[in-house]
Amino acid sequence: MTDAPLTPERILEAAEEVLRRFGPAKATVVDVARALGVSHGSVYRHFPSKAALRDAVAERWLARVSAPLEAIAREDAPAPARLRRWLEALVAAKRSRAQGDPELFATYLALFADAREVVAEHVDALAAQAARIVADGVARGEMTAPDPAAAGRAVLDATARFHNPAHAQEWADPAIDAAFEAVFALVLRGLGAGETGEARSPES
């Protein structure tokens, strides 16, 4: 169609579109090439294998989740409330994707299963963001933690049920929000920030 130069960027865009339309099982490199109006051999000039292309697509999706969170983590604001907003944003990002377009979400889950490396890096990045908030909290005197880096990872681990896609089917449970509140309260108190992090707001 267009005769813009063939770049990894354009290939990734086409690959996402093909995945969206055909799903992870049916999407082929030939499909991606066809969407771009080139031969599949040309795609292999930019990505050494289908696996590499798959990893790059997965990485993009994960980056779209973690980038906005990075901004929250870096805010100059009280750490307990910031941690809460950060976690809520993380949970909301995953949940809205899972419930907004379940098929596409399942597609990416299938991708992630074969892109362990990429996912591990994403989790490390999230743990670092949480650790940053905790470390800030300790510096500000709003939290205490012997090892902020470990505590950040622990916060992520302790809330896994609410953002780890392995639990996605549980997100439809009406009790999930109450469960999140309970875990968050436990975690916040565990960080020595008992009542600060926005008590139950009495609305409705």
Partner DNA sequence: CGAATGACAGTTGTTGATTTTTGTCATTCA
Partner DNA sequence: TGAATGACAAAAATCAACAACTGTCATTCG
| Contact footprint for its own copies (CB under 8 A) | 147, 150-151, 153-155, 157-161, 164, 166-167, 178-179, 182-183, 185-192
Instruction: Show the tokens assigned to 137.
Output: 């909290």
* 26-34, 73-81, 128-136, 153-161 -> range binding DNA (CB under 7 A): 26-34
Interhelix angle 148-158/176-190, nearest 10 degrees: 160
Q: Which is nearer to its own copies, 4 or 175 (CB)?
A: 175
Minimum Å distance from CB 55 to DNA?
12
Q: Which is nearer to DNA, 104 or 110 (CB)?
A: 110
CB under 7 A: which stretch of 30-38, 79-87, 115-123, 127-135 binds DNA?
30-38
Residue 178: HSE in the Cβ half-sphere, 13 Å Cα cutoff: 3
CA distance linking residue 194 with residue 204, whole number of Å: 25
Measured from the CB of residue 127, what is the shortest distance to DNA in angstroms?
31
DSSP-derived 3-state class of residue 9: helix
Contacts with DNA in 109-148 (CB under 7 A)?
Answer: none
- Closest separation in Å from C-beta 112 to DNA: 17
Inter-residue contact 133 to 191 (CB < 8 Å): no
Q: Which residue is listed with tokens 């880096």?
A: 149
Tokens representing residue 164 in the block? 């780890």
Q: Interface mask (CB under 7 A) for DNA, residues 35-74, using x and -?
A: ---xxxxx-xx--xxxx-----------------------
Contact 132, 152 (CB under 8 A): yes
Cα–Cα dist 91/168, whole Å: 11
What is the contact surface with DNA in residues (CB under 7 A)? 5-6, 25-26, 28-31, 38-42, 44-45, 48-51
